[in-house]
Structure 1
């Protein structure tokens, strides 16, 4: 971002924020769909049964932990690449 003027920096930051929000919403939507498909199977009541509710909670917890772990591994690899000087643009 060093070579960009102030307006270009603002535009780039705005685009990055929008992209991150889109990726978050996509991840959230996929998690909701997966946990619903895996856990909800009784449509005779408008509320979740205790079994369904605990399944959804475990599913969401597992999904969030896997995303957290994936993010941590990505950061580790990024740091290794930065130290070795093999990041693009460096």
Structure 2
């Protein structure tokens, strides 16, 4: 953390960052559930999911998680390249 912050300020900043991460995760999860439900579930005549719906949901969740993982990796790659470029300019 920043050396200019007091211990109390550092704890407050960490607390806010943790809350923000939880909120972002919940938004991501909610979006995934909404997207996959709308895309896959269309038969409301039964409480149980049909085989087709179950397979669709599994593929949808897997694809969404794979996409998020790859986006995170790509972001880290770009961030690392930008950091190296900035350090090279100094």
Question: Which TM-score applies when normalising by structure 1?
Answer: 0.92
For residues 48-77 of structure 1, give each alpha carbon's deviation from its aligned partner in whole angstroms, at most 9, with x where no partner exists: 001000000000000000000000000111
Q: How does 1:5-44 map to 2 (within 5 A)?
A: 5-44=6-45
CA distance in 2, matches of 1:75, 1:58: 26
Aligned to 1:75: 76
CA distance in 1, matches of 2:62, 2:4: 42
Cα shift at 1:82 = 1.0
Aligned to 1:53: 54
Cα shift at 1:2 = 2.1
Q: How many residues align structurally?
A: 86
CA distance in 2, matches of 1:23, 1:36: 20
Q: Which structure 1 segments of 5+ residues have no match?
A: none
Structure 1 runs (4+) deviating above 6 angstroms are none
